[in-house]
Structure 1
Amino acid sequence: MHSLIELWESVRDFIATGGDVLYIVAFVLFAMWTLLIERFWFVSREFPVMRNKIIADWNARTDTTSWYAHKIRDAWVSEASTKLNERINVIKTLVAVCPMVGLLGTVTGMIAVFEIMALQGTGNPRLMASGISMATIPTMAGMVACLSGVFVTSKLEGKVKSAIHELSDSLPHH
């Protein structure tokens, strides 16, 4: 319990140092990871059931060679592909938004620095340092959030492409 309190205090200090923009970074990061976890769950748990049903329906057909059968096969593969690719573009958008929100933190931090300079002059480096850290921490947080999303999204896209190819290969067209 003591370590959780220390962790919470570190997060609180980090946010206090980086400014309120870090709440926006945290929200975008939470939304991105929620969608990523949901997609991985779908690919690993729900899609195999869907794939097995499609394969069973295909194998139960008496006609698998006609033009109509091929169009039905293509439609089933396309429907599965659509289900697999749901929310991927939203995830990619959230990944792309992370550095932009970090840059928003840079702008607000620099505004704080210029405000301090206008009021106090350039003679107080401590006050300027707090504004500069307020400018750099959100940028770093946005970049770290983006990098985590980029790597995991590319892994997810690879799994989705592989699942689509495996499904397509499992439905032979004679």
Structure 2
Amino acid sequence: MVGIFEAIRDFIETGGGVLLVIGFLIFCMWILILERVFYVFVTHKAYRDALLANWRARADRSSWNAEQIRQAMISRVSLRINSGLPIIQALVALCPLLGLMGTVTGMIEVFEVMAISGSGNARSMASGVSKATIPTMAGMVGALSGVFASTWLARKARRERLHLEDALELKRH
């Protein structure tokens, strides 16, 4: 168990301080994603079923007022299921940007080593190059995983809205 923590510590040291920020960002992003997944699979179903029962219990489902109530119900469900998606998408967009910042800081370290040593000694530049590539990789991996999850959540929200529009049909006389 101690070996795992040492390996993680060495990886963070190799990637530089930006890697900690990227790790924290990815952690926050996945907490929000998991909360949304929990909402979709657990909480939303009960809310949707209660809403459908409320709609079916209405005597008036054909007037202009009924259409406005139907639209309001659909909007409320859409707002609830889409809640948090813009934040997740913003965090996904930040991941590669922070990776780029890690690249820049790592390359600055490479240039500092070159300025001090006066040559392109590969051994002395290696730590700066790793500090440049590891944050980039971490930012891209975080962004890719977040893109897949946020795309799935957005599709699920869109599908749920369409299903709800069909389920809350108006009675035509």
TM-score, reference length from structure 1:
0.95
Q: Does 1:85 align with 2:82?
A: yes
Partner residue, 2:124: 127
Aligned mates of 1:110, 1:99 — CA distance in 2:
16
- The correspondence for 2:91, drawn from 91, 94, 103, is 94
Aligned ranges for residues 94-113 of structure 1 at < 5 Å?
94-113=91-110
1:157 alignment counterpart: 154
Matched, 1:147 2:144: yes
User: CA separation in 2, counterparts of 1:168 and 1:10?
Assistant: 52
Matched residue type, 2:80: K
Residue 159 of structure 1 aligns with an amino acid whose one-letter code is: K
Taking the aligned partners of 1:167 and 1:40, their CA distance within structure 2 comes to 18
> Secondary structure of 1:110's partner?
helix
Instruction: Please report the RMSD computed on the Cα atoms of aligned residues, expressed in angstroms.
Output: 1.0
1:22-61 Cα offsets, whole Å, 9 max, x none, are 0010011011101100011111111111101111110111
Between 1:157-166 and 1:49-58, the stretch displaced more is: 157-166
2:118 counterpart of 1:137: no
Deviation at 1:104, TM superposition (A): 0.4
- Percent sequence identity over aligned pairs: 48
Query: 2: CA distance between counterparts of 1:6 and 1:149?
Result: 29
Total equivalences in the alignment? 171
What is the match of residue 13 of structure 1? 10
Tell me which amino acid in the other structure corresponds to 2:104: V
Which segment is superposed worse, 39-48 or 123-132?
Answer: 123-132
In 1, Cα distance between equivalents of 2:164 and 2:148: 25
Listed as ranges, the gaps of 5+ residues in structure 2 are none
Residue ranges of structure 1 left out of the alignment (5+ in a row): none
**Following the alignment from structure 1 to structure 2, what is the Cα–Cα distance between the partners of residues 95 and 27?**
13
Q: Which residue of 2 aligns with 1:49?
A: 46
1:40 equivalent in alignment to 2:37: yes
Which amino acid letter does the alignment assign opposite residue 11 of structure 1?
I
Structure 2 distance, partners of 1:78, 1:120, is 64
The alpha carbon displacement at 1:164 in A equals: 1.4
TM-score by length of 2: 0.95
Decide whether aligned partners of structure 1 residues 165 and 120 sit closer, same or farther in structure 2, where only a CA change above 3 A counts: same
Letter in 1 for 2:17: D
Correspondence 1:67-78 to 2 at 5 A: 67-78=64-75
Q: Deviations over 1:89-137 (max 9, x none)?
A: 1100100100000000001001111111111122532110110111111
